[in-house]
Chain A
Amino acid sequence: MTFWRRAAAATLLLATGVVIGAAASLSLTSGTLGAATTTVPQCTTAGLTVFQNLSGSTVVSVTVGAIPAACAGATLQVTVNNGVTNASGSATVPGGGGSVTVALGTAPAVTTSEQTDLVMVGP
């Protein structure tokens, strides 16, 4: 073997040593991970008016007023609970807001301790 071949072999050994050093790294892959948080907006925090419409001694519908325009297009759900039974109905808030009368599916009797709940969902 000539001198230059020996020198080349020594160089190759040095280079191999560097490669072996780099081989200490790990192999790593990753699955996907995505996360997000967002607020659930409310179209209004203002007070709304709620009137029960009676037929005799039963509640047949509820009129919700002072609904702001921001609630337009939302589905308004109303439930009247008289402590014995409850009745629900829903309607769509018109453009511009205003007032909405929601007819109840059944007509619960008027009592001295009724509770009216409402929720607006969407759009």
Chain B
Amino acid sequence: MKRIVGAVLAGLTTFGLVFGLAASLNLTSDSLGSATTVVAACQATAMNATYTSTYQAGAPGPGYTVGTVTITGLAATCYSKPYKVTLAGAAGASLGEATGTTPASGTSFAVTFSPVVSATSVTAISVVISG
């Protein structure tokens, strides 16, 4: 029995190699590696933006401007991470951007825009926190 099975295996191995050689092509390959992972936000709870308006006689005034936006509702999971806040106007056009790092404590942080943005033009705000 063992001899029969052994002979069958030997035969299959042999023919397998033969067939393998007969069908082989010359092929090289660059490296290829892939992976997928989830990109998650640092917090799921809502944040809120409030505005500090200041009158400015010079450009972009005369009129009221926004120089500071305060973001509240910051969770500890978003501490010490880079952020960007954008104030946008008509058609989503950027009126001004401010970047920085979220604080290491507390639930709010102030974002300063320089130059200031015309309050009349602001229609939307965008916030991104990464890291």
Contacts and interface: CB of A to CB of B under 8 A. Distances in A.
Interface of A: 3, 7, 24-40, 77, 79, 81, 86, 88, 115, 117-119, 121-122
A117 B124 contact: no
A38 B35 CA distance: 33
Nearest to B51: A121
Contacts of A77: 53, 55, 64
Interface of B: 2, 5-6, 9, 32-43, 47, 49-53, 55, 57, 61-64, 77-78, 81, 88, 119, 122-131
Contacts of A30: 37-40
B14 to A, nearest CB: 14
B62 A37 contact: no
Given A117-B62, A122-B50, A26 B35 contact: yes
Given A79-B64, A119-B119, A33 B33 contact: no
Contacts of B40: 30, 32-34
Nearest to A31: B131
A35 B38 contact: no
Contact of B64 (A7, A33, A119): A119
A117 B55 CA distance: 8
B9 A7 contact: yes
Contacts of B81: 32
Contacts of A122: 50-51
A32 B41 contact: yes
Nearest to B69: A40
Nearest to A27: B35
Contact of B128 (A25, A33, A40, A81): A33
